[in-house]
Structure 1
Amino acid sequence: MIHFAWPWALLLLPLPYLVRCLAPPALAAEEAALWVPRLSRFDVARHQQSRRARSRVAMLLAILCWLLLVLACARPQWLGAPLELPVSGRDLLLAVDISGSMQTEDFELHGQQVDRLTALKQIADPFIARRSGDRIGLILFGDQAYVQTPLTFDRTMVTQLLDEAAIGLAGKQTAIGDAIGLALKRTAEGEAHKRVLILLTDGANTAGQLAPLKAAELAAQQGLKIYTIGIGADEMQVRSFFFSQTVNPSADLDEKTLRSIAEQTGGRYFRAHDSAELEQIYQLLDQLEPAVRARELYRPVTDLFVWPLGLALAGAVILLLRDALAALRRRA
């Protein structure tokens, strides 16, 4: 649709008429009638009629130029279709453990036994897709932590890079404290009440330079809320050549530390023994940290004033050339 940025400029349209009405009249000599004593001189009258016709055309052209000039002053604009912009929601970081223990196959998906990281990916993908309005980031950690995806509104890219994560890329051990410290660096410029870290691990802190509880203390001071998720089954059947035995594959999970990290930062600790529980945790996180639903719309604006302005200038040039040619004819 067409919109005028300065519609008040249209009030200038009657200005030439007001000037004509208020200005003093022209000299009588300039409006004197032409007396023709003989009929044989009607060729002069015809010349005068042609001159008056050209004068009327020039007047109409001048009026048109004025209309176009005022129209350009009103700044006509074309408003495009509304576009939805990403809104400023939370800075939500996922810190995912890819240490060697994540290859333990104690989770089940679609009737098949899978390792913990595979189950985590399958269940985390829909969660990421639902976080419309949030900036999502991804941290992977093993012996050390590194940023796989910086904070971004591109949820598709975060999902893709999470799916490409492989066990052992960052080493076989677990640096929980370093993962929290890296999250603090990546969210340092965000608003305190909008920064959230979801940390998923199946073990205890066995590597890194920063202790998990010290990292949690720093996170609490800087307003980073941490939700911790401990994953892994409590029982698992291990088969040997002659018999099978029941073992606890989550014996190394440090639930006490994970719970303390969450409590210090205002978050919560969750325990996921299987895929169903992990999915329920993600749904609960959607309720605890709901995505921003308000939309922000933007309409692209294209200025159109150059067209009437260009036509007005072209008309003015035509009038100037006409007057110049008339002056040359009179001199000739």
Structure 2
Amino acid sequence: MATSLSLTSISLEFLWALLLLPLPLLVRFWMPPVSQSGNVAWVPFASELEAGDGTKPTSGSSLRLALAVITWLLLVLAAARPEWQGDAVELPVSGRDLLLAVDISGSMQTQDFVLSGRQTDRLTATKAVANAFIKRREGDRIGLILFGSKAYVQTPLTFDRDTVSILMNEAVIGLAGEETAIGDAIGLAVKRLKQGETAASTDQVLILLTDGVNTAGVVSPDQAAELAVKAGLTIYTIGIGADAMIVRSFFGNRQVNPSAQLDEKTLTQIAELTGGKYFRARDTEALQQIYRIIDKLEPVEKDAQMFRPRHALFMWPLGLALMLTAGLLLSMTPVVRRR
């Protein structure tokens, strides 16, 4: 977007510097005249600047005087520090640091969810719902952790929600291993939030989504929860997976519980210990509702902050003044002619 430069966009940081404008005149009229008794140093072009016979100064001396005046005006203007103020820009709202930890272990490929009328796996449903949640989190710094047998940062904390959504969609089941390291995921979240800690954000939230039990990793979920408490991290846990589904086999159809391995007790303890809450998502609608509830529990800040960028302009009058000064000095240097 092009920004037009107008006088209303230019301001002087040190307006009082303009009081220096009449300084040369004050010095000229208030300083006593110099006594010229005895030997006097020779001044180049003195005959032009000071006509003892009553004649007017030459055109050359008048031009130098005009240039000297312009040079002084430019120097004073540079000392006043002119600056151009751009159009108001809305700054990112100071919200919270919010990390999403998503389970991509092998069990997330279970197709017990329905999305747009079609049977789909748990991770695909999670991507659709979580991306809608991310778009609503304007003003928050959002990061993404993926975990299976190991946990790793897919997206560091950023205000760029589009990038988080893109990298969320690139998550692949089994990429981090077939097992589930819930404790390591929480520990990694605590570490990343400490590294990205800023004065602008005091609220730190982790939303952890899994469909299983901790079966891998170095840090246990209990130990990780204690670390989160010390770091002031609030954890919302989501247990995902249907309670029942029909499985077709050679012997016919039978009903099974695909979430039999879900450790709801541990997820509840983690949430309660850190001041969060445990949610159970048995289908896509429930998962959507859970993220809406979290929106209400952790509301987005709405008060926008405006900022007008400033660009210093003093170097232009200063540079021009130095060029004119150099020209004046050269014009007053006597030319030695060879005979």
TM-score of the pair, normalised by structure 2 = 0.84
* Alpha-carbon distance, 1:266 to partner: 0.4
Q: Please point out which of 177, 185, 197 is paired with 1:179.
A: 185
Q: Which residue does the alignment assign to 1:134?
A: 140
Of stretches 53-62 and 205-214 in structure 1, the one that deviates more from structure 2 is 53-62
Distance 1:283 1:222 in 2: 26
Q: C-alpha offsets along residues 68-91 of structure 1, whole Å, 9 cap, x if unaligned? A: 111111111222333344344322
Q: Which residue does the alignment assign to 1:283?
A: 292
Of stretches 198-207 and 127-136 in structure 1, the one that deviates more from structure 2 is 127-136
Letter in 1 for 2:259: S
Q: Which residue does the alignment assign to 2:19?
A: 11
* Alpha-carbon distance, 1:178 to partner: 1.7
Q: 1:100-119 to 2 correspondence within 5 Å? A: 100-119=106-125
Of stretches 294-303 and 5-14 in structure 1, the one that deviates more from structure 2 is 294-303
Distance 2:259 2:170 in 1: 25
Change (3 A) 1:132 1:68: same
SS in 2 for 1:277: helix
Q: 1:87-236 to 2 correspondence within 5 Å? A: 87-189=93-195, 190=197, 193-236=202-245
Letter in 1 for 2:225: A
Answering whether residue 320 of structure 2 is matched by residue 314 of structure 1, we say: no
Q: C-alpha offsets along residues 108-159 of structure 1, whole Å, 9 cap, x if unaligned? A: 1111010000000011012112222222221111122222222222222221
Q: 1:237-248 to 2 correspondence within 5 Å? A: 237-241=246-250, 243-248=252-257
Distance 2:207 2:309 in 1: 37
Q: C-alpha offsets along residues 210-235 of structure 1, whole Å, 9 cap, x if unaligned? A: 22123212222321111000111112
Distance 2:202 2:60 in 1: 74
Letter in 1 for 2:156: P
Distance 1:57 1:67 in 2: 15
User: Are 1:193 and 1:223, in contact at CA under 8 Å, matched by a contact in 2?
Assistant: no
Distance 1:133 1:10 in 2: 43
Answering whether residue 333 of structure 2 is matched by residue 324 of structure 1, we say: yes
Of stretches 261-270 and 63-72 in structure 1, the one that deviates more from structure 2 is 63-72
* Alpha-carbon distance, 1:31 to partner: 6.9
Higher Cα Rg: structure 1 or 2?
Answer: 1
Distance 1:193 1:62 in 2: 57
Change (3 A) 1:193 1:76: closer
Distance 1:53 1:17 in 2: 21
* Alpha-carbon distance, 1:103 to partner: 0.8
Distance 1:208 1:263 in 2: 22
SS in 2 for 1:324: coil
Structure with the higher helix share, 1 or 2 = 1
Distance 2:153 2:178 in 1: 17
Change (3 A) 1:314 1:168: closer
Q: Which residue does the alignment assign to 1:252?
A: 261
SS in 1 for 2:295: helix
Letter in 2 for 1:261: I
* Alpha-carbon distance, 1:173 to partner: 1.7
Distance 2:330 2:178 in 1: 85
Distance 1:317 1:128 in 2: 60
Letter in 1 for 2:23: L
* Alpha-carbon distance, 1:177 to partner: 1.5
Q: Which runs of 5+ in 2 are unaligned?
A: 1-8, 37-49
Superposed CA RMSD in Å reads: 2.7
Change (3 A) 1:78 1:201: same
Distance 2:257 2:244 in 1: 5
* Alpha-carbon distance, 1:270 to partner: 0.6
Q: How high is the sequence identity, in percent, across the aligned residues? A: 61
Q: Which residue does the alignment assign to 1:41?
A: none
Distance 2:169 2:177 in 1: 18
SS in 2 for 1:188: helix
Letter in 2 for 1:285: I
Letter in 2 for 1:199: L
Of stretches 162-171 and 129-138 in structure 1, the one that deviates more from structure 2 is 129-138
Q: Which runs of 5+ in 1 are unaligned?
A: 35-47
